[in-house]
């Protein structure tokens, strides 16, 4: 299969990658391969090959919301890193799905464009952020995405507008239709003062350093906040700060973060998430929704 992937000449192929090298939790077994298609035509060529040969696949961004298992992922991962074009036309940003979100937020901030400051600490790609409707500080991608170009299951490139994308708290049309692939996005920002925007970003970075365990591998918030409450508060009330299973720990800084503190296995993190979810349900009758995705 690896030889066949290379013969397709669609882009770089890495065989037998360790998922701990491609996810922010730094856990997981190996995959069959990662492929980096160079453009839409090569992406389509790759998808057709995988579907014809019944090989499972997954689009992989920065791996900042994924928990692979410790076992082999018997499929191919597709990274859209080459989809990284960037055009800035006044307040209109056209950007490829593989572009780094933090990099973009810093670039537009320095240009005095406001609206993406919330993303300066979110370690994802544009495509991943739209898929998850990533957000912080009471705003999210849904407020700034005007439209996207997406590849449909029958290999058509279509434009989906904001109203089509069904953005809600940490979810979108793409999550419910994950056979659509985001290729690029158009974001609408506003003019602002570069110095003021950079000050906001610096102040928030400082706050994150004080309140989030950024010194350890993690995938950010584990659970969505329930309506009118905070997942972290519920977990802390259960006395779970510092609780561990194997090398996976509930952060002492922020109870809604699980950290890989001591060579955790993926199974340690998954068990800890399940235990917390069960305990919160048992004590508060609240079904916490896991923000992160288990991949098998």
Catalytic choice (172, 221, 251, 270): 221
The contacts of residue 240 (CB under 8 Å, 6+ apart) are 250, 255, 276, 279
Catalytic choice (69, 82, 146, 170): 170
Contact 104, 204 (CB under 8 A): no
- Asked whether the CA dihedral 99, 171, 168, 291 is positive or negative, the reply is negative
Q: Which two tokens stand for residue 142?
A: 């849904």
Supply the DSSP symbol for 9: T
CA–CA separation, 16 and 117 (whole Å):
37
Strands 31-37 vs 73-79: parallel, antiparallel or unpaired = parallel
CA–CA separation, 64 and 20 (whole Å):
11
Q: Is 170 a catalytic residue?
A: yes
Exposed, middle or buried by CB within 10 Å (0-12, 13-18, 19+), for 194? Answer: middle
Q: What are the residue numbers of the active site?
A: 170, 221, 291
């Amino acid at each position: 299969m690896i030889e066949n992937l290379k013969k397709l000449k669609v882009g770089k192929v890495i065989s037998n990658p360790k998922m701990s090298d491609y996810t922010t939790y730094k856990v997981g077994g190996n995959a069959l391969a990662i492929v980096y298609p160079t453009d839409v035509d090569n992406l389509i060529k790759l998808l057709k090959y995988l579907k014809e040969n019944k090989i499972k696949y997954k689009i992989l961004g920065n791996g900042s919301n994924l928990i692979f298992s410790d076992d082999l992922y018997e499929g191919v991962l597709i990274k859209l890193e080459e989809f990284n074009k960037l055009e800035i036309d006044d307040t209109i940003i056209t950007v490829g799905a593989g572009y780094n979100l933090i990099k973009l937020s810093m670039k537009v901030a320095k240009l005095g464009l406001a609206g993406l400051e919330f993303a300066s600490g979110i370690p994802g790609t544009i495509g991943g952020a739209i898929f998850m409707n990533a957000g912080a500080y009471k705003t999210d991608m849904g407020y700034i995405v005007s439209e996207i170009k997406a590849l449909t299951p029958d290999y058509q490139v279509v434009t989906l507008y904001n109203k089509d994308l069904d953005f809600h708290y940490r979810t979108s049309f793409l999550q419910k239709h994950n056979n659509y692939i985001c290729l690029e996005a158009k974001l609408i920002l506003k003019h602002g003062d570069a110095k003021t925007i950079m000050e906001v970003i610096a102040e928030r970075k400082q706050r994150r350093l004080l309140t989030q365990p950024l010194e350890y591998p993690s995938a950010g918030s584990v659970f969505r906040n329930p309506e009118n409450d905070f997942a972290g508060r519920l977990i802390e009330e259960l006395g779970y700060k510092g609780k561990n299973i194997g090398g996976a720990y509930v952060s002492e800084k922020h109870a809604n973060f699980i950290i890989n503190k001591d060579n955790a296995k993926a199974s340690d993190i998954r068990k800890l998430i399940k235990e917390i979810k069960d305990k919160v349900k048992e004590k508060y009758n609240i079904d916490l929704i896991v923000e992160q995705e288990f991949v098998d």
